[in-house]
Amino acid sequence: MKIGELSRATGTNVETIRYYERIGLLPAPERTASNYRSYGEAHRTRLAFVRHSRELGFTIEEVRSLLDLADHPERECSEADRIATRHLAQVAEKIDQLVALRDELSRIIGRCRGGLAADCHVIEALGNHTLCGNEHKSVHSMSC
């Protein structure tokens, strides 16, 4: 199948497929006589694995390690278990951070008195971190 067909079959953007090829997550396909990429079922299966792993939040390097294990079925799966267990701990930490963030935003919003922006507790709390009830990390600093 051509790259557009693979894209439609897996719900993956064409540029993402090319990116995965460039970084080695997806092997380079054969080329037709007219130099079009020609993908097979193995590409579709591997791309589905990568997509699902990424949807679950695994990093590119974690996906690379998991693919390496999948490519060597005779190896023990203890490394896959370690990767998934470490990722689960990271997800749990993110959830804790998001719950704290939700609670802090609820507290700030709950104290809003309405009226003018000059008297707005939301703006005041965002401008003065000491008014926050919790020590929290930025959502942007949470790693995947």
Q: Domains (ranges, CATH) in the chain? A: 3-70 (1.10.1660.10), 88-141 (no CATH)
CA distance 142 to 97: 8
The pLDDT of residue 142: 47
E strand intervals along the chain:
30-31, 37-38
Q: Which residues pair with 121 in a beta bridge?
A: none
CA distance 103 to 33: 60
The pLDDT of residue 137: 59
- Residue 144 pLDDT > 50: no
High-pLDDT (> 90) share of the chain, %: 67
Q: Is the dihedral of CA 30, 36, 38, 44 positive or negative?
A: positive
- Mean per-residue pLDDT, 38-45: 96
- Residue 143 pLDDT > 50: no
